[in-house]
Amino acid sequence: MKRVVRAVAAMLAAGIMAFGISANGYAYSPQIEPFPIGIFWPPGPAETTSARYAEINEMNANFVVGGNGVSTLATNDQALMHASNNGIRLLVDDVRLMWRSQLIEQKATGFGLNVSSSSALGQTFKTPAGTGWGLNTVKLYVDKTNWPASTTLTLKLYDSPAKATLLASSSINGSANTYYPEFQFHTVVQSDKSYYVELTSSSPTPVGWVVTSSSDVYPGGQAYMNGTVQNLDFWFEMNVSQRAYNDGNRPSNADIDAIANYYKNKSGLQGYHVTDEPSALQMTRILETTRRIRMNDPNHTAFVNLFPTYANANQLGLDQLTGLYVSSAAPIGQTFKTKPGLTKIDTVQWWIDKNTWGAGEALTLKLWDSSAKQTLIAQSTLTTPPTEWPQFALNATISGNTSYYMELTHNGGGDNSVGWVVRSNTGDDWYPDGNGSINGAAFNGDFWFTINQSIQGGTYEDYVYRWMYTNPDVLVFDHYPFMASGQIRSDYYTNLEVIRRQALLGNADFWSYIQSVGISGVWKTPTQSEMNYQIYTNLAYGAKGYIYFTYWTPASSGGESFANGLILPDGTKNASYTWAQSINAKVKQWGPVLNSLRSEAVYHTGSSLPSSVTALPAGFFWQLDQTSLPSVIGYFKNASGRKYVMVVNRDTVNARTLSFTLATKPSSVKEISSVNGAEIDTNYNASTGTLSSSFAAGEGKLFVLPSGY
């Protein structure tokens, strides 16, 4: 999503929170009325003021995803206070949920050296094993009484004492108010690798002591003076951090409990920004975190954002797998827990190499009450399937939130061996509340399977399905379509199709991130019509909320140069702030209606259709007269069955007048006003069943049919 993240008065009526059971029945989740409209990359700590949060409210946004340095107790308290006073909800970003830190340190003392413009001091050190480390800060021990105010000390990070590559630099001006000055780096480092830091001074006057040990005591490196090795080590604390879920880790229960218990009763809290763009391998550990949060605080959202379709297999965690063979002597099984509210298992898919499944070989999947196999619930037998993801039809009545066991057996025919049957690598937990087994013996891993789905393993939809299997409070994803080349990503609608389908199957709402910033050489800065296009097309697919990325324009980080967020780097409003303000006001008027709707179908028209979409069927009741014109038609129903249609001009450049024919000629077609949310008249002609309306580039409109139609 946002690689920048990796570098690290009462409520107004429009923002009042209502509590209720989440759509998936798993936990209580607060809803944001009249419609969730959020911002990400909020004002940083110095800009976390009432005036800044009033600006967010004035833009007609009503929640904030925390970040941009607002990630400590003190900074979050400030943000919560200003959010609450301005009708805003905050998803707190607590650094302990996102990152785990480790100190590389050498604390022995006994000697010291002076630094000056002619005397540079250095130290080699070694980073920890593991993945994804970043060097955040380096503390040294310096005599502040001998550090003049006119002197600047600079600490530089190099790849080695040869100083072939400068990786980062940080400076502190004297006079220091501490004996332990902290140099800021926030740069990526490789794991289990030696690096070199060197301290220099802007003045010939010696500063120090810079405290050292009296001998070489640190096994991971040693001190240097002007490039010459010294038989000692500097006193140092180097703070390195990695994503909280890397290397099989997660935040500790003590940290999670402390976070939830600290924030849960604070005004302005919407929930917890748990993590961003997890791999499938991290999902069960993230689930452990969200369950622990819910145990302490069942009334607030656990927020996790997924990767887009253009993430690679390694990022998605879908390339880490192995397999087993099943034979008559070696059945394989899987325990699992059904989702809350599930009452039927119609089909179960397994991932099996069909090329090893020969003539005369049959596999039977049996569903049991438990691994003790006391009660057989259902079974299904297949021979030589057409795909590697065969579906076993069980048609079994079951209970939600209940553990079961399924076992795959071989009939002994052919060469009595079929495989691979795909499973996770040992130690990789793919599914919560269960594990795989071989001939009745459990192993530390899972077989690949789906319930009531038809999915290809190792695909983006597989990734989203696995997350939905954990019962998230809301399904959130990001996809930024407008490229620096001027092209729109070809998989934009592929992503929406998958997210919509999995949200409906998982009985959850979905929210989407909206591109509102540019990155040099990567993304263009969207125009007004392009921002509108993203919002309206997401709404046509059934989105129940959206978030702007970014609000404040981030500083350049990790080689990325950001430009033209809604708020510019100097704190002034970009023109896009006003664009967002305008469309948000319209969507908020639609909010009560949108929240009541369920997506039934999404169709496209145009002479050239995007990948993965469904063309408008000839038999659909709502027809575009000029089918060569690009549009998106979202079809919805409310709880009473009343029909709604959202039409979006899929052209981001040209305004168009679109004409429609309803062959069944309902008595009326109304439009939902974007001014006051009322049902207003259109130019619909009931005698001919025709309607036309003008659309700006990228604009959408919401229409409603009569009750009972």
Residue 521 pLDDT more than 90?
yes
pLDDT, tens only, 340-382: 999 999 999 999 999 999 999 999 999 999 999 999 999 999 9
5 versus 476: the higher-pLDDT residue is 476
Quote the pLDDT of residue 388. 96
Residue 598 pLDDT more than 70?
yes
Rounded to the nearest 10°, the torsion over CA 503, 505, 507, 513 is: 0
Question: Is residue 240 a contact partner of residue 135, using CB atoms and an 8 Å limit?
Answer: yes
Rounded to the nearest integer, the mean pLDDT of the chain is: 94
Cα separation of 83 and 91, whole Å?
10
Cα separation of 183 and 156, whole Å?
9
**Which stretches of 297-394 are DSSP H helices?**
313-316
Q: Domain 320-457: which topology? A: Jelly Rolls (2.60.120)
Q: How sure is the predictor about 556, in pLDDT bands with cuts at 50, 70 and 90?
A: confident
pLDDT, tens only, 609-648: 999 999 999 999 999 999 999 999 999 999 999 999 999 9
Quote the pLDDT of residue 176. 83
| In the chain, % of residues over pLDDT 90 | 93
How buried is 386 (Cβ within 10 angstroms: 0-12 exposed, 13-18 middle, 19+ buried)? exposed
Residue 12 pLDDT more than 50?
no
Give the rounded distance of the alpha carbon of 209 from its chain centre: 47
Residue 20 pLDDT more than 90?
no
Mean pLDDT of 668-692: 98
557 versus 329: the higher-pLDDT residue is 329
Q: How sure is the predictor about 558, in pLDDT bands with cuts at 50, 70 and 90?
A: low
191 versus 30: the higher-pLDDT residue is 191
Quote the pLDDT of residue 25. 40
Q: How sure is the predictor about 13, in pLDDT bands with cuts at 50, 70 and 90?
A: very low
Domain 108-234 shares a fold with domain 597-709: no
Question: Is residue 482 a contact partner of residue 467, using CB atoms and an 8 Å limit?
Answer: no
Q: How sure is the predictor about 151, in pLDDT bands with cuts at 50, 70 and 90?
A: very high
Quote the pLDDT of residue 26. 42
Antiparallel, parallel or unpaired: β 598-605 and 152-158: unpaired
Residue 14 pLDDT more than 90?
no
Q: Rg of the Cα trace of the chain?
A: 29
Quote the pLDDT of residue 691. 98
Quote the pLDDT of residue 175. 82
Rounded to the nearest 10°, the torsion over CA 128, 130, 131, 133 is: -20
Q: Domain 597-709: which topology? A: Immunoglobulin-like (2.60.40)
Residue 29 pLDDT more than 80?
no
Residue 36 pLDDT more than 50?
yes
Residue 697 pLDDT more than 70?
yes
Q: How sure is the predictor about 91, in pLDDT bands with cuts at 50, 70 and 90?
A: very high
CATH for 108-234 is 2.60.120
Quote the pLDDT of residue 384. 87
Mean pLDDT of 323-339: 96
Over the range 671-691, which residues count as b (16 or more CB within 10 Å of their CB) and which as e?
bbebeebeeeebebeeeebbb
All structural domains of the chain with their residue ranges = 108-234, 320-457, 597-709
Quote the pLDDT of residue 3. 44
The model's pTM is 0.90
Q: How sure is the predictor about 9, in pLDDT bands with cuts at 50, 70 and 90?
A: very low
Residue 15 pLDDT more than 60?
no
List the 436-438 sheet strands across, edge first. 376-383, 362-368, 403-410, 332-337, 436-438, 441-442
- Nearest one of 141, 143, 138 to 155, comparing CA atoms: 138
**Which stretches of 388-515 are DSSP H helices?**
460-468, 492-505
Cα separation of 578 and 59, whole Å?
7
Quote the pLDDT of residue 8. 35
Mean pLDDT of 300-320: 96
Q: How sure is the predictor about 276, in pLDDT bands with cuts at 50, 70 and 90?
A: very high
Residue 4 pLDDT more than 80?
no
Cα separation of 92 and 79, whole Å?
9
| 68: its two tokens | 């941009």
Q: How sure is the predictor about 30, in pLDDT bands with cuts at 50, 70 and 90?
A: low
Cα separation of 376 and 200, whole Å?
74
175 versus 297: the higher-pLDDT residue is 297
Residue 383 has φ and ψ, to the nearest 5°, of -130, 140
